Amino acid sequence: MRSDDQTFIEQLESLSRSQNGALIREQLSDERPEDLADALVRLDLDEGLVVLKSLDAEQAGYILVELPTETARAYIRELPDTTLAHYLDILPMDDALDLREELGPERFDALLEIIPAEDALEIRRLMEYPEDAVGRIMTEQFFEVSPDTTMAEVLKDIRLSSEEKYETVNDIYVLDQHSHLLGVFSLRRAIRALPDQKAGELMNQEPVTCEAFELAEEAARRMARYGFYALPVLDRRGRMVGLFTGDDAQTVIREEDTEDVLKMGAVSGDAEAYLSLSVWQLVKRRVPWLLGLFVAESLTGNVLRYYGQGGDDLHMNPLAFFIPLLIGAGGNSGSQVTTTITRALALGEVRPTDWWRVTRREIATALISGTILGVVGFLRAFVNVPILGWGAPLDLSLVVGAALPAIIIWSTSVGSLLPITAKRFGLDPAVMSAPFISTFVDATGLIIYFEIAKHVLGHLGT
């Protein structure tokens, strides 16, 4: 992530307004695709398209790969097939296959008919593997030699080969005539060896490998454990068919860890970049969990209702029966937002300067989520059906239905700003946000609930 990110975004906006393709290519030719993709997420679609169409095709293709899925889809819908086919032809095949989700199966298959047959064949070979398998994201461009290859021949090959021939040359793989993996040695060892030494003499005969049909997450964690740059990929017959590289392994681990963290915070869905998701997509990721937790927390209300109405000694105000339901919903929605924003800050998807953009999105999300839970809460309180409802009076049910969206909007606002504020002042959002949000929302949620009750019921004793 660039330290001058806001200035960079303003530069892109200015270049877009200029509509000068030559100037855009000149100014951005040395910029990294990751930085450009990060900036394009924050530009309007029309501005981003001007920039993307003006860049060199290879640079633009890599930017599309780096863009979050939802953002990439928006750009891809505006690009012609000829342009996209050119991107697929230029990109490494595993990166080209990454665009299949954004393009959709039908359009992607149609583009395979346009690109060179050899490239299309390699992509189709990768598509034969399951989506979460190593084979789906491996590259077939690895450095292979026979056991009798000398180090002089290895170094000559490296000097004379085109940049596109090999994905990486950190390690060199020794194969027999049937492509079975015999061993591996590092480029460093090849450079330090005598020119006439052979690969069979230098190789490590017990390399760490992975299988093409193996889960990518398992292979990625094995690579991280040993600190390797890549793992050779074997088929079921022990033949080397590709290379699982470190950059792909990092992506797999990051996405899996993100999904795990979000699930712990009661948020479902893939590990998409926060700013690329629409309000409705955020709602769909959160509301099912909130409804499930809503039902679970209503059991506490049942306990209070059972004992609170069981006799004069334990008689409770009916307002108390709904406190666990309301406070739980507020705490859960706040935790969802805090978990999401904290993770986005850690990955660089959100920065403190994005606070207003985040706040607007979260308030809109909370309005929809709160309305849904408010309707469910009203029905839960008012309907007099065993298990489904408690048969509360209409005015008390209205208090519950109104308090739920108010508490959720409040807890969501606090949950979104708290980690950003902590980050702004150099504090760790993960340490500060989780314990604080539940305590603060519980107290303030009660105030909101009772204030609404005072206005609706006239007094707390009703």
The whole-number pLDDT of residue 386 equals 66
The whole-number pLDDT of residue 388 equals 63
Distance of alpha carbon 138 from alpha carbon 135, whole angstroms? 5
Question: pTM of the full predicted structure?
Answer: 0.70
Q: Which residue has the tokens 């800050």?
A: 345
The whole-number pLDDT of residue 442 equals 79
Co-location of 365 and 443 in the same domain = yes
7: number of CA atoms within 13 Å, CB side? Answer: 3
In order of 92, 106, 256, 329, 387, the CA distances from 289 in angstroms are 39, 33, 19, 10, 20
Tens-level pLDDT at each residue, the chain (462 residues): 455 667 888 889 899 898 888 999 989 988 888 889 888 888 888 998 999 888 888 888 888 888 887 888 888 888 888 888 887 777 777 777 878 877 888 888 888 888 888 888 888 888 888 888 999 989 888 999 999 999 999 999 988 887 777 777 889 999 999 999 999 999 999 999 999 999 999 999 999 999 999 999 999 999 999 888 899 999 999 899 999 999 889 988 988 888 777 777 667 766 677 888 888 888 888 888 888 877 777 777 677 776 666 655 666 777 888 888 888 888 888 888 888 888 888 878 888 888 888 999 999 999 999 999 999 888 888 887 766 667 788 888 899 899 999 999 999 888 888 888 888 888 777 765 666 777 778 788 889 988 898 888 865 444
Q: Are 64 and 97 a contacting pair, CB within 8 Å?
A: no
In a domain, 361, yes or no: yes
Q: Are 449 and 403 a contacting pair, CB within 8 Å?
A: yes
Q: Are 240 and 142 a contacting pair, CB within 8 Å?
A: yes
The whole-number pLDDT of residue 29 equals 86
In a domain, 134, yes or no: no
Co-location of 274 and 356 in the same domain = yes
The whole-number pLDDT of residue 276 equals 80
Q: What residue spans of 104-150 are helical by DSSP H?
A: 105-112, 117-127, 134-137
The whole-number pLDDT of residue 310 equals 60
CATH assignment of the domain containing 425: 1.10.357.20
Residue 19 CB neighbours (<10 A) = 10
In a domain, 36, yes or no: yes
Q: Which residue has the tokens 């590259």?
A: 139
Co-location of 231 and 286 in the same domain = no
Co-location of 148 and 70 in the same domain = no
Tokens of 140: 């077939």
Q: Are 144 and 137 a contacting pair, CB within 8 Å?
A: no
In order of 117, 143, 365, the CA distances from 93 in angstroms are 13, 16, 38
Using DSSP bridges, classify how beta strands 171-175 and 144-145 pair: parallel, antiparallel or unpaired. parallel
Q: What residue spans of 199-272 are helical by DSSP H?
A: 199-202, 216-226, 246-264
Residue 372 CB neighbours (<10 A) = 18
Look at residue 171 and give its three-state secondary structure: strand
Q: Which residue has the tokens 């330090």?
A: 192
Q: Are 373 and 294 a contacting pair, CB within 8 Å?
A: yes
Distance of alpha carbon 269 from alpha carbon 271, whole angstroms? 7
Among residues 338, 328, 336, 335, the alpha carbon closest in space to that of 400 is found at: 328
Tokens of 338: 């805090």
In a domain, 60, yes or no: yes
Dump the DSSP string for 179-205: -BEEEEEEHHHHHHS-TT-BHHHH-BS
Distance of alpha carbon 424 from alpha carbon 121, whole angstroms? 49
Tell me the one-letter amino acid at 8.
F
In order of 209, 236, 434, 462, the CA distances from 317 in angstroms are 66, 68, 31, 8
Among residues 177, 179, 169, the alpha carbon closest in space to that of 142 is found at: 169
Last residue of a domain, one of 246, 274, 299: 246
Co-location of 172 and 317 in the same domain = no
**CB neighbour class for 229 (10 Å; exposed up to 12, middle 13-18, buried from 19):** middle
Q: Are 322 and 400 a contacting pair, CB within 8 Å?
A: yes
In a domain, 136, yes or no: no
In a domain, 163, yes or no: yes
CATH assignment of the domain containing 196: 3.10.580.10
Last residue of a domain, one of 101, 129, 157: 129
Look at residue 92 and give its three-state secondary structure: coil
Stretch (H or E) spanning 242: strand 240-245
Co-location of 320 and 449 in the same domain = yes
Distance of alpha carbon 389 from alpha carbon 42, whole angstroms? 45
Co-location of 192 and 222 in the same domain = yes
Its domain, for residue 225, covers 144-246
CATH assignment of the domain containing 46: 1.25.60.10
Q: How many domains does the chain have?
A: 3
In a domain, 362, yes or no: yes
Dump the DSSP string for 310-352: S-GGG---GGGGGHHHHHHHHHHHHHHHHHHHHHHHHHTSS-G
In a domain, 318, yes or no: yes
Residue 22 CB neighbours (<10 A) = 8
Co-location of 310 and 423 in the same domain = yes
Q: Which residue has the tokens 């989520």?
A: 369
φ and ψ of 230, to 5 deg: -165, 160
Co-location of 121 and 226 in the same domain = no
Last residue of a domain, one of 129, 161, 195: 129
